Structure 1
Amino acid sequence: MRVILSVEALEPRLSGIGRYSWELAERLPLIEDVESVRFYRNGQWITDPGLLLTDGRQPLWGNKPLRWLRKRNQWAVRLKQAATMRSHLFHGPNYFLPPAGEGGVITVHDLSVFRYAETHPAERLAQFERYFRPSVDRAAHIITDSETTRQEVADFLGFDLARITAVPLAASPVFQPRGADATAAALARYDLTPQGYALCVSTVEPRKRITQLLHAWRSLPAAVRSRWPLMVTGGSGWLSDAVRDLMEKGAGEGWVRYLGFVPEEDLPLLYAGASLFVYPSVYEGFGLPPVEAMASGVPVVVSNASCLPEVTDGAAMLVEPEDISGFSRALERALEDESWRRQAIAKGLEVAGRYSWDRCARETVEIYRRLR
């Protein structure tokens, strides 16, 4: 079996889709029956997808876009490219299939661009308006990250569920429980101490409900806020100015800090050193951060919404983020109720252990096999 994997989501700061693409890129070539894997990005072949994760100063040896070729060679190269496409199964892990990928696979991670269009920039909406439905129509099969999303995509597209398969994502093995001696040095660089803070890893945008989290945290008793200030890390998304203003006010009062992006090597230590992980998003296709937190041995609080109850499977405390007072009471319990915390840690490790990137790659290849 010969496979083409699209890798346009790979970049130095990996998003969730970028992480998914990278884990597949590393594992697909190692699976039995996969004869070869080629990597494709916006009209060019990528010989080493790992170079896409660098800072951009390293050359992508051999990765020459078609537009760089002299005109007299372009037609011949395009014909050769089309022949290669026809002889391989094409997988678009980021929603889209090019015309030459007819009969391939796409992964639809969620439908937020349709459900929460106001949280996406205009250029992304235009891209989906133009290319999503043609990609869906030319795909032989669709992958989703959760059963919740599988049902939602089937309803939205009017497709038979047999044409859609849920393949769960996973936390990397670097997310694991660590003692204070293993985390203290890294946390000190952020002026943090082990078990002395709570954590939220999320893009700062409306559907993530960071505003509601901040209001709930501000409603905690002063002693609780002081003992466990909230750390927020992640990119600034669409319509995030109001959230940032609220965080700046909270930072001035000492109960919240926005860390922005942290280096990838520090993130597992930041998870493992947290006393609590909170993820109030009301819409996800899978929700990697709560799984990473559970794998790190940290109690987790998530929204009772979308796929999060499915993915955390009884390990997390479920909250209604729009109910600020109820949300705040739940946070106080999650920080102070030692009996619940012990149970949440044990159950979280069990649930996170069911997921693995090896499993994700194997189940993905099984879908390929059914199409060949």
Structure 2
Amino acid sequence: MKVILSIDAVRFPLTGIGRYTYELARQLPDEVPGLDLQFMAGHRFVPRLPTEKAFSNPAQGRSLAVRVRQRLQNSPAIVSAHRVWLSRRQSHSLKEHNEAIFHGPQFYLPRFDGKSVVTIHDLSVFTWAHCHPGGRARMMRQEIVKSVSRASMVLTDSEFTRQELVAFFSLPPERVRAIPLASAACFRPRLPTELDAVLPRLGLRPGNYCLYSGTIEPRKNLGALLDAYQRLPTSLRHRLPLVLCGYQGWQSADLHARIQKAAGEGWVRYLGYVSGAELPHVFAGARLFAFPSVYEGFGLPVLEAMASGVPVVCSNSSSLPEVAGDAALMCAPHNVDTLTDLLRQGLEDEGWRSEAQRKGLAQAARFSWAQCARKTGAAYRAVRSD
């Protein structure tokens, strides 16, 4: 069975879709017997996955070329034009491979006379369009409509997104499969000596902060998290500050103003981008992980926290209950009063914390990239046999 996997999303440091594509590419050959897996980067076939050394460190990427590329990537018109050009080039490159299955793991599929699979990670550009830049949302909506119409099968990261996609596009349920993601092996409980080697240079002490990790943007509901944390007793907030890490996202100026004010008051720390080598230690060193997002296609940070042995408080929206199971404290995303109560319980209730750590590790162990690859291989076989 020949499969061509697009690896355009594999850019270091690996984030959600990049991590998904990278782990699939690594696991599929071992987990799917008889698979002939080929990689396509852009419109060219490549012999292997890129390595981290091939990418510059984002914290050091200050060259003119990097700045120009970042500016171009923020232009929906330019990105859309590039997508049209790339789709045509990919279609041309695939002309001689109609016997293969093409898998687009990042929402996009080119025209292809053979069978194809696309992964749609969420429908936020349709259902939460106000939480995206308008131009980017319009472009992605157009591309997702094309991809869904072209795909022999659609994969999602969660049952929530599967049902949402089936209803939104009126698709036959059997044409859409939910295949959960997993956390990377580097997210695990850490010894004190491991934490002491990393956290002090970030100004952190193990077990002495509540963590949020993710892009700073409206969909993540950080305004509610700041409101809830501010309602905690002053002594608790200062003893166990809220630590935020992640890229500055779209429409986040007001959030950053609030973060800066809270940092001046001594109960919030904003670390910005944290390297891939340091981030697992920041997770493992947290006393509590807070993730009140209003909409997630999967919610990988929740799984990463549980795999790190850290208790979790999160919202009960979208896919998050599937990921957290019964291991987390959950509430409606905009219920600030309840979120405050849950944060306090998560920080102070040692009985619950111990049980949440145990349940969280067990819940995280139910997810694996090997299982993700096996189920993806089963989807390929189903497509081939149609």
Fold shared per TM-score above 0.5: yes
Q: Which moved more, 1:252-261 or 1:94-103?
A: 94-103
SS in 2 for 1:49: coil
Partner of 1:27: 27
Partner of 1:214: 226
SS in 2 for 1:264: coil
Deviations 1:52-99 (A, max 9, x none): 773259xxxxxxxxxxxxxxxxx9998664112x12111111111110
Work out which of the residue numbers 168, 172, 195 in structure 2 matches 1:156. 168
Maintained 8 Å contact 1:102/1:138 = no
Identity %: 43
Work out which of the residue numbers 177, 180, 184 in structure 1 matches 2:192. 180
Structure 1 residue runs without a partner (length 5+):
58-74
Q: Which moved more, 1:47-56 or 1:151-160?
A: 47-56
Distance 1:205 1:101 in 2: 39
Maintained 8 Å contact 1:10/1:52 = no
Relative distance call for 1:77 and 1:180 in structure 2 (3 A) is closer
Aligned-pair CA distance for 1:321: 3.2
AA of the residue aligned to 1:82:
K
SS in 1 for 2:143: helix
AA of the residue aligned to 1:304:
N
Partner of 2:65: none
Distance 1:280 1:49 in 2: 34
Work out which of the residue numbers 119, 123, 129 in structure 2 matches 1:111. 123
AA of the residue aligned to 1:337:
D
Partner of 1:283: 295
Partner of 1:332: 344
Aligned-pair CA distance for 1:102: 4.7
Maintained 8 Å contact 1:148/1:306 = yes
Distance 2:135 2:89 in 1: 32
Aligned-pair CA distance for 1:234: 1.0
Distance 2:244 2:356 in 1: 21
SS in 2 for 1:354: coil
Distance 2:144 2:90 in 1: 27
Q: Which moved more, 1:290-299 or 1:26-35?
A: 26-35
Distance 1:166 1:53 in 2: 33
Deviations 1:9-32 (A, max 9, x none): 121232211110111111122234
Partner of 1:82: 95
Mapping 1:352-367, distance limit 5 Å:
352-367=364-379
Give the 4+ runs in structure 1 shifted more than 4 A. 75-80
Relative distance call for 1:200 and 1:34 in structure 2 (3 A) is farther
Relative distance call for 1:322 and 1:129 in structure 2 (3 A) is closer
Distance 2:334 2:271 in 1: 24
Maintained 8 Å contact 2:186/2:280 = yes
SS in 2 for 1:104: strand
Distance 2:291 2:237 in 1: 17
Maintained 8 Å contact 1:13/1:53 = no
Partner of 1:305: 317
What is the total number of aligned residue pairs between the two structures? 354
Aligned-pair CA distance for 1:48: 3.0
Partner of 1:199: 211
2:255 counterpart of 1:243: yes
Distance 1:317 1:197 in 2: 17
Relative distance call for 1:129 and 1:366 in structure 2 (3 A) is same
Distance 1:80 1:15 in 2: 28
SS in 2 for 1:302: strand
Distance 2:93 2:215 in 1: 41
Relative distance call for 1:180 and 1:160 in structure 2 (3 A) is same
SS in 2 for 1:142: strand
